[in-house]
């Protein structure tokens, strides 16, 4: 016999044998006195949808609501998308609860909407598989609101994408820059630098620049990006004044240049080799363990540089993460605190002034 | 014996047996009287670089320039990137000329920088393989400047990407919308529409909406995007006022909504089925020949909708085209003239008020 629920003060109470039927055996709601339970609207909607509840009576007006009427009321912020995600995870064999007391005793932090329990576990077992945040595809996300956990985006046609959000501290073992050559002859062109006859290892071992048309010469002429050239000039490796190159970088790229230089510098200092990520629509791709360009291997990360105050659009996130996945790389966002790029050089503190976040697609 | 050139008034003249050595047999420059030829600076730089010219003498000051000195002068707009592309195509076995008289008698239009001849052909053969436009990765391109031909982008590290730009008129053979159902019960939620128990074929044959949690029911409840719902409501298929749905679309999406609706409408009218392209960072993906959702096949196009006055950033182009290529689709940009979306419906004329451009990666 299907039960009825009673909507009162934002929760749906169900009596009868609801505790045993819905809570204890299937992880819905939280227990009240006796056999009664309280359900979040999204839980109640799911039971209604499945026919496990027959109707919900609105305690205020006495109206009797079926699934359609209950949905049309949209009881709560983002109710439509929350219901879709709730139903999707249920259909994948997970139990989940609102990330709040009293549904679970210790809710995860970070603005989570749901706590998803490991398969086979429920709200009483004290384990959480994912802390889930849910947004529609048109909801922007300030970078400052990124949290470890799962970001769930529901698109306009109600398809759901799950992203695993985590901290990512890039590090590598590439040849250190302790002994760069000094004062190589170089010319600043419009938006790049040509280095004439540098020692072969500048390219071969450290992977700076790009040889001019093939590598048929012993000491190939190298073209460097303005970021590479500023970094090298700051370390005395080029005949150019670093300030001149940096100014040119700012002219052609605007304020992005200092942020990109800050990230480039930290990556190099951490033993990675950053090269342009242009073909992937990113700022850099990185190689963690370069000893020779003849044996480069695969670049592991795509780095997108943003100011700390950046606001992500879910559509761009989808594009970036999808592309990275397609080329077997991990998308990492480098969020640069303005202080760290003010002077064009990083001022290393514990965090380098840069927060690193990875986003990867997840199939729950 | 290597020859010398003389830089005068923007071209480099070379005498001796230059005509036979450089023009007739290798496609450089254009012939002057006798055996003399004239070279564009980029052609002269290439001959200098290869050691075929020994030096270039500046006719104004008498200075004798080697490759480094000549490059450092940057003789002409975007000289650095133009040289890189010239050298790259030469190394791939192509001859190419500046897209101007008197290098070639009939230059291609559309702001091309170089005319590239078919392999084995030269400037005198009257055939052009590609009309090439060259930009640096930081040069924005107004949509109004797109031309059929090849767009060449040189990134900050001097890597070159070639894009084939063409007109693309999407068309398909999907089930026509002549006999849509009428007046299906539907509710407008925050940013989507739920259609209750529509005829099965609305989803199964015409691929509107997305069934709520699987397809276990005979007449599945469908969720439609606001674009889909407006289109359906305009044709009397839903119980909702089309104006109400369209207004909601504008509220949640802003002015993009009318443009997207205009493109959606034209695509449907042309026998394609557009579905959201969110997971690919695009507005729509399209299926050309839908007869049943059980046999959908592959979606062929990714459609990105922009206003006609849009300005592309090369970085975004790279990302979009790369992603489309990775998922075996073609990237198509739909440029919407504001007049066609003013009223939320397309006003079909010869062009639908929409220009369709495809961009694909090209390996010359």
Q: Are strands A53-58 and A141-142 parallel, antiparallel or unpaired?
A: unpaired
pLDDT in tens, B210-226: 998 654 556 689 999 99
Q: Whole-angstrom Cα distance, residue A332 to residue A286?
A: 10
Q: Where in chain A is the domain with CATH 3.40.1350.10?
A: 186-362
Taking CA atoms, A9 is separated from A81, B63, B225, in Å, by: 22, 89, 31
Going residue by residue through chain A (364 aa), what tens digit of pLDDT does each one get? 678 999 999 999 999 999 999 999 999 999 999 999 999 999 999 999 989 999 999 999 999 999 999 999 988 888 999 999 999 999 999 999 999 999 998 888 778 999 999 999 999 888 999 999 999 998 999 999 999 999 999 999 999 999 999 999 999 999 888 789 999 999 999 999 999 989 989 999 999 999 986 545 566 899 999 999 999 999 999 999 999 999 999 999 999 999 999 999 999 999 999 999 998 989 999 999 999 998 888 999 999 999 999 999 998 898 899 999 989 999 999 999 976 555 444 444 456 789 999 999 999 8
Q: Whole-angstrom Cα distance, residue A9 to residue B208?
A: 37
User: CATH classification of A1-76 is 3.40.1170.20, yes or no?
Assistant: yes
Nearest CA in chain A to B274: A157
Beta bridge partners of B56: B5, B65
Taking CA atoms, B338 is separated from A35, A38, A224, B246, B251, in Å, by: 62, 52, 43, 17, 18
CB-side neighbour CA atoms (13 Å) of B187: 15
- Quote the mean pLDDT of chain B: 91
Predicted local confidence at residue B8, as pLDDT:
93
Judge whether B75 and B41 are in contact, CB under 8 Å. yes
Q: Which residues of B touch A69 (CB under 8 A)?
A: none
Q: H helices of A281-360, where?
A: 314-326, 338-341
Question: What stretch of H or E contains A264?
Answer: helix A256-269
Q: Whole-angstrom Cα distance, residue A137 to residue A303?
A: 23
Interface test with A, best of B65, B184, B213 (most A CBs within 10 A): B213
- For chain B, the straight-line distance linking the first and the last C-alpha, in angstroms and rounded, comes to 33
CA angle (B22 as vertex; B81, B78 as ends), nearest 5: 15
Q: Whole-angstrom Cα distance, residue B153 to residue B157?
A: 11
Judge whether A152 and A160 are in contact, CB under 8 Å. yes
Q: At what angle do helices A41-49 and A79-91 cross, to 10 degrees?
A: 60
Q: Which fold has domain A186-362?
A: Trna Endonuclease; Chain: A, domain 1 (3.40.1350)
Q: Whole-angstrom Cα distance, residue B240 to residue B257?
A: 18
B306 touches chain A (CB under 8 A): no
Active site residue A275: no
pLDDT in tens, A108-151: 877 899 999 999 999 988 899 999 999 999 899 999 999 999 99
Q: Are strands A149-154 and A130-136 parallel, antiparallel or unpaired?
A: parallel
Cβ contacts below 8 Å, chain A against chain B, sum to: 158
ipTM field: 0.88
CA A36 to chain centre: 40
Residues 264-303 of B with CB under 8 A from A: 275-276, 278-281
Backbone angles phi, psi at B28, to 5 degrees: -90, 140
Neighbouring C-beta atoms of residue A127, cutoff 10 Å = 10
Backbone angles phi, psi at B105, to 5 degrees: -70, -35
Torsion of CA B121, B127, B129, B133, to 10 degrees: 110
Q: Whole-angstrom Cα distance, residue A348 to residue A200?
A: 30
Ramachandran area for residue B148 (φ above 0: left; ψ -120 to 50: alpha; else beta): beta
Judge whether A110 and A149 are in contact, CB under 8 Å. yes
Judge whether B248 and B224 are in contact, CB under 8 Å. no
CATH of B3-165 given 3.40.50.2020, 3.40.30.10, 3.40.50.300, 3.40.1350.150: 3.40.1350.150
Taking CA atoms, B183 is separated from B193, B236, B238, in Å, by: 14, 6, 4
- Give the mean pLDDT of B271-289: 94
Say which of B203, B208, B231, B287 is annotated catalytic.
Answer: B287
Residues 133-172 of A with CB under 8 A from B: 136-138, 155-159, 161
Q: Whole-angstrom Cα distance, residue A269 to residue A202?
A: 16
A88 touches chain B (CB under 8 A): yes
Judge whether B230 and B260 are in contact, CB under 8 Å. no
Judge whether B116 and B149 are in contact, CB under 8 Å. no
Predicted local confidence at residue A339, as pLDDT:
66
Q: Are strands A114-116 and B301-307 parallel, antiparallel or unpaired?
A: unpaired
Beta bridge partners of A223: A194, A210
Percent of chain B exceeding pLDDT 90 equals: 77
Q: Do A137 and B278 touch (CB under 8 A)?
A: yes
Residue among B176, B110, B121, B96 nearest B145 (CA) = B110
Q: Of the candidates A78, A225, A326, which has its C-beta nearest B157's C-beta?
A: A225
Q: H helices of chain B, where?
A: 18, 41-49, 67-73, 79-91, 200-204, 226-234, 242-253, 256-269, 314-326, 338-341
pLDDT in tens, B54-108: 999 999 999 999 999 999 998 888 899 999 999 999 999 999 999 999 999 888 8
Cα-atom radius of gyration of chain A, to the nearest Å?
27
Taking CA atoms, A118 is separated from A107, A128, A256, B265, in Å, by: 15, 6, 42, 44
pLDDT in tens, B316-364: 898 899 999 989 999 999 999 976 555 444 444 456 789 999 999 999 8
Burial tier of A82 (Cβ tally within 10 Å: 0-12, 13-18, 19+): buried
Q: Which residues of A touch B187 (CB under 8 A)?
A: 68, 71-72
pLDDT in tens, B26-55: 999 999 999 999 999 999 999 999 899 999
Predicted local confidence at residue B302, as pLDDT:
97
Torsion of CA B246, A153, A29, A8, to 10 degrees: -30
């Amino acid at each position: 016999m299907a039960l009825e629920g009673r909507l009162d003060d934002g929760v749906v109470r169900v009596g009868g044998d609801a505790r045993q039927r819905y809570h204890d055996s299937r992880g819905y709601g939280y227990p009240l006195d006796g056999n009664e339970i309280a359900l979040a609207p999204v839980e109640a909607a799911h039971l209604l949808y499945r026919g496990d509840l027959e109707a919900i009576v609105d305690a205020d007006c006495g109206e009797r609501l079926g699934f359609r009427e209950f949905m049309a009321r949209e009881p709560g912020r983002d109710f439509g998308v929350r219901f879709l995600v709730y139903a999707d995870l249920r259909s994948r064999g997970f139990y989940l609860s609102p990330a709040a007391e009293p549904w679970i005793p210790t809710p995860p932090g970070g603005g989570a909407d749901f706590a998803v329990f490991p398969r086979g576990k429920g709200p009483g077992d004290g384990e959480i598989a994912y802390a889930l945040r849910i947004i529609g595809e048109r909801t922007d996300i300030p970078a400052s609101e990124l949290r470890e956990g799962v970001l769930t985006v529901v698109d306009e046609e109600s398809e759901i994408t799950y992203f695993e959000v985590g901290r990512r501290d890039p590090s590598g073992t590439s040849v250190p820059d302790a002994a760069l050559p000094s004062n190589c002859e170089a010319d600043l062109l419009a938006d790049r630098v040509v280095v004439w006859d540098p020692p072969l290892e500048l390219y071969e071992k450290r992977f700076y620049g790009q040889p001019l048309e093939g590598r048929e010469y012993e000491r190939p002429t190298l073209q460097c990006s303005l970021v590479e050239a500023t970094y090298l000039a700051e370390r005395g490796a080029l005949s150019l004044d670093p300030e001149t190159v940096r100014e040119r970088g700012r002219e052609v790229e605007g304020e992005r240049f200092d942020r990109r230089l800050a990230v480039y510098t930290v990556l190099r200092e951490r033993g990675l080799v950053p090269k342009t990520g242009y073909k992937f629509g990113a700022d850099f791709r990185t190689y963690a363990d370069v000893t020779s360009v003849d044996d480069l291997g695969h670049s592991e990360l795509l780095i997108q540089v943003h100011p700390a105050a950046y606001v992500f659009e879910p559509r761009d996130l989808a594009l970036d993460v999808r592309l990275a996945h397609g080329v077997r790389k991990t998308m990492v966002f480098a969020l640069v605190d303005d202080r760290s790029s003010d002077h064009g050089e990083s001022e290393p503190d514990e965090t380098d002034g840069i927060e690193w976040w990875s986003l990867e697609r997840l199939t729950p």
